[in-house]
Amino acid sequence: MEVSETLTLSKLGFFITFPFPEQSRIDIIKAVKSIDISTKQKEIQDTLDEKLAKSLKPLGYFSAVEKDTECNLWLPDFQHAVDFYNPEKKIAIEVEKAEIKRVTHDLLKLINATKTFRAKIKYGVMIVPDKYFVKSGSKPFISTLKQDISFYFGTLLGDANLFDVLIICYKVTSK
């Protein structure tokens, strides 16, 4: 899979005390790049989670698509889960395949996971497309994401225990 851009919260202007761990950043990006998948949105939507699960498993990540209960960070009270989770490194990964409006939801889940009785995560990863397709054509995903994070989370992230977020943007060429 082609990665078109990567960034962290510090590149979005946030003050970060504990940057995303460099080796984990390298390993996750390498896992994403190792996936053999078409750049068509439909194929990505249908197969990305399964292919990513195989790529991340050797790195210690559990997967919601494989029904790993470790991804259900809020049990028994809530059934919500993150897409991938490494309990040893306290890293949660959310994958967004097509809907920009879900990014806010995904980031709220990451923040929420830092506020559990015993913090479940310290770092988050968002894997998103570089653009998304609508009936009238395509729209840039990453620029909208950057604006939404700055607007909606500018003050919230400062109060959260989420140390940093790695954003990996992958290439999509067509529906």
In a domain, 36, yes or no: yes
Q: Determine the 3-state secondary structure of 140 from DSSP.
A: strand
Domain that holds residue 151: 3-170
In a domain, 175, yes or no: no
- 14 — pLDDT class (breaks 50, 70, 90): confident
Give the whole-angstrom CA distance, residue 145 versus residue 141. Answer: 6
What's the pLDDT tens digit per position in 29-66? 999 999 999 888 888 888 999 999 999 999 999 999 99
- Report the pLDDT averaged over residues 68-87: 88
Name the average pLDDT for the chain: 87
In a domain, 111, yes or no: yes
Domains held by the chain: number: 1
- The CATH number assigned to the domain holding 87 equals 3.40.91.20
In a domain, 76, yes or no: yes
